[in-house]
A = this chain, B = another copy of it.
Amino acid sequence: VEGGAGRRFSVRRAVRWGDADPAGLIYGPRCFDYAVEAVEAFWEAVLGLGFLDLHRAHRMGAPWVHASCDYLRPLAPGDEVEVTLAVERLGASSITYRIEGAGPDGQAAFRVTLVSAMVDLDTGKPTPVPEAMRERVRPYLVGA
């Protein structure tokens, strides 16, 4: 586990009509979709590779081992959401992301934690997060 510079990565998206349920608000599981999308965008922008590259070029996978969400404020279709990602923990072969979605008023609407394990696709076993990746992830670690 390493301390970090506390950088943040963020993406914006709108809550879509199809993301909401008959209560007129975002359907709970969709917040996890938003969070995974943010991690995917983080990989592309910061690590310089997509999940598909990770699989095909590196023969590694990064399956989720844990996911949780606290729902703080409702979001409705049309709402712009700023989804902000930080890295809570960079373990030997795991990464813990802390993701917050803020609604149009700037207040946190949901807080997601996602933990992924790095896995060697050929052995099916955990494998260390490569140093080249660690270096790029480190600045996003929340401060100690």
Binding site for B on A (CB under 8 A): 14, 16-18, 20-25, 27-30, 32-33, 36-37, 40-41, 44, 50-53, 55, 61, 63-71, 74, 76-78
Contact = CB atoms under 8 A, between A and B. Distances in A.
Contact of A29 (B18, B52, B74): B18
Given A29-B36, A36-B28, A21 B22 contact: yes
A25 to B, nearest CB: 7
A67 B28 contact: yes
By DSSP majority rule, is chain A's interface helix, strand, loop, or mixed? mixed
Contacts of A30: 29
A116 to B, nearest CB: 9
A20 B19 CA distance: 9
18 contacts: A17-B22, A18-B27, A18-B33, A18-B36, A18-B37, A21-B22, A22-B23, A22-B77, A23-B55, A24-B52, A28-B32, A29-B32, A32-B32, A50-B77, A52-B76, A52-B77, A66-B68, A67-B69
A63 B67 contact: no
Nearest to A24: B22
A97 to B, nearest CB: 12
A24 B32 CA distance: 19
